[in-house]
Amino acid sequence: MANQKFRIGITRDALRDDGKTVFDAAALRVLDDPLIEWEFIPENVKELTASHAASYDALCVLSPRTTAATLAGPNRRLKIVARLGVGYDNVDVPACTASGVLLTITPDGVRRPVATSILTFILSLSHKLFLKDRITRAGRWGETKFHMGEGLVGKTVGSIGMGNIGSELFRLLAPLNMNLIACDPAKTQADADPLGVKLTDMDTVLRESDFVCVNCFLSEQTRGLVGERELALMKPSAYLINTARGPIVNEAALYKVLSDKRIAGAALDVFEHEPASGDNPLFKLDNIIVTPHSICWTDECFRGNAEGAFRAAVAVAKGETPKYIVNTDVLLHPDIKTHLKLG
């Protein structure tokens, strides 16, 4: 047992149908270590089981759920769940903490790809890109004068949340001569000053922004955060952009304000229920851009997420504390003290 290798299982949804990885295979070099053996778990599952937790020291997880049942088996070997991404609403965090299992995320992998995705939405909405694509395909060139785009100089971008992605978005926007505002209870104006951002309250962000961008985590506190009252505060010329999590925005309320033209439009990469049904009423509107929770899916994003998750697993294999632990309280668990070299 003393010479037993540290086993890492990568969820099988990280493989395409042709057997190639969804991320650059060069990311697997991170796992080239004599302490480690790794494999893609044999079956493609929606939820990880107690058997997986008994078979691996680390699970590098793309989308399957990690539940209390995953961690409840008597032969649990699992020490870390390393998410390829930053969302962890599919992970039972309290169960991980109670079981002495680390949960890590990969903010370095998503920071730039998601921020550039939001910028893509801002540019697409302001230039009426999808509308102009449709009238061009239909040969309706004579209508172009009726679909004037909107310049960005002097316009206001507001972010609900100024964490990893919100801050990166503001860095990208710096050369565009826009006004930048945000709300985030965890930040101070001293945090916002280097980004050229005015920190304010959420109602002000909604009232003053030409582009309202949702950049916060989904939690019980943020579920339904943007509803009928909040949308009513937005300017008729404003746009809502959500690349965070669908349930943060009340879809029924959003549909109402979009169909009544009470805001100019929206761009959504995320939905209350995913995969979103084809009969979602939002899809019938012509003032919204929708993408299937993949606007940021680029080679850069997937390689960064994979490398980040693999580095976290390798760190634990070496007895080191990995970066970006979600459940930091777990470091007090007696099992963790046996796995890691904690000072």
In this structure, which amino acid lies at residue 24?
D
Q: Which of 7, 245, 303, 311 is catalytic?
A: 245
Strands 156-160 and 198-199: unpaired
Token pair for 207: 């009232």
CB-based contacts of 293, cutoff 8 Å, min separation 6: 269, 270, 271, 274
User: Which of 139-146's residues contact partners 24+ apart within 8 Å by CB, and which partners?
Assistant: none
Strand partners, 289: 267
Residue 133, token pair as written in the block: 């694509």
Give CA–CA dist 9/308, Å, rounded.
15
Instruction: Mark whether 245 is an active-site residue.
Output: yes
Q: Give the chain's count of helices (H) and strands (E).
A: 11, 12
Q: Which of 83, 293, 303, 339 is catalytic?
A: 293
State the Cα–Cα distance between residues 42 and 71, nearest whole angstrom. Answer: 19
Sorted by sequence, the CB contacts under 8 Å of residue 237 that are 6+ apart come out as 150, 210, 263, 264
The tokens describing 142, both together, are: 């004579």
Q: Tokens in use for 8?
A: 């890492």
How far lies 185's CA from each of 202, 234, 276, 294, in Å?
10, 21, 31, 28
In the residue annotation, 147 being an active-site residue is answered as: no
39 is catalytic: no
- Mark out the alpha helices in 202-285 (DSSP H runs): 202-208, 228-232, 251-259
Catalytic residues: 245, 274, 293
